[in-house]
Amino acid sequence: ELDDIKVEYHPHSGRPQQVYQFSDYKQDQASQRPSLTHDQQPWKPFHSCLNFEFVELALYASLSKDETNRLINLVHRAMGGNESFSLTNHKEVSETWSRVAHCFTPFEQTVIFVPYRKEEHKFDIHFCPLWNWATDLLRDPHVRPHAVFDAECIYKYNGSKFI
């Protein structure tokens, strides 16, 4: 039928070719996706959403340790609402980030030297190893279903043949 999809797998996979109607193609994979539960507290391990938003702002503002401590003191003086703000100092902010950091591939640093006009220039390079980063992505339940590693050829029927 017009627009049918044919999938041929690598011969060593032992999987037979399959033909799908266009409207059904990939629908079976969608039903196999894990149901994702809505995280009611996505700011964890921070004590509250307000704490997370504060630390995020301090990070984006590139606040120093002293600036962060001063801002925390100001927030404690100004607060009076129902939302909890429990951070007390930069050390606590750093410790909380450290608890999160192990969940992701860390950046690494190396130095490279580049010759330019008879001089060697030194550059600090920060990078994330691609293999580790890809592994992190595959652990993410939102990304994993979209990663396909099977060698396959996909054809679409044009009315007379699969192309």
Indicate the domain borders of the chain: 1-36+141-163
Tell me how far apart the alpha carbons of residues 163 and 156 are, in angstroms, rounded to a whole number.
6
- CB atoms < 10 A from the CB of 132, how many? 13
pLDDT at position 39 is 77
Q: Is the pTM of this model over 0.85?
A: no
pLDDT at position 78 is 78
Bridge partners (DSSP) of residue 8 are 153
**DSSP result, 21-50:** -GGGTTHHHHHHSPPPPP-S-TTTTSSSHH
Which residue ranges in the chain fall short of pLDDT 50? none
Cα distances (angstroms) measured from residue 70 to each of 38, 63, 149, 150:
35, 10, 51, 55
pLDDT at position 103 is 80
pLDDT at position 160 is 92
